[in-house]
Amino acid sequence: RTMQMGLLALALGTASIALIVTAHLGVFTLLPPMILMGAALAAQYTAGAVGSTHTTAGRAGAGIGFFNLLRIGGSAIGPAAVALVLQHDGTAYAEIFSIACAVVLTAFVATVVSEANQLIAKPT
């Protein structure tokens, strides 16, 4: 649940920034969504790391390895996507945050689907 709430907060933050940039509301209006996104990243990151270690693969080390692979991969893909968008339109900041929001919402849907497909063990 923490990871899902973090993803929703990230989506809200990125969508807010896209709207603020589109409406030209000024730099100070960016502060609340940026604080929200920072808190959401901390919550989502911690929950994701803990969750990946509490899986069968995580107990063997592969879960956290895969988690870190995707984390570092995202760190490489993000700037590349920004560069591609801005190369075509140097003022496309709202589009960048809209793309980020779509990616985050896709991750949220994936966590909901994954949670729905999990088998719940009977207590012993």
Quickly state the pLDDT bin for 94 (edges 50, 70, 90): confident
CA 20 to chain centre: 19
Contact predicate 13/34, CB 8 Å: yes
Q: Give pTM, 2 decimals.
A: 0.73
Strands (E) located in 1-124: none
Q: Look over the chain and give the mean of its residue pLDDT values, rounded to a whole number.
A: 84
Q: Is 29 a residue whose pLDDT tops 90?
A: yes
What are φ and ψ of residue 24, in 5° steps? 55, 50
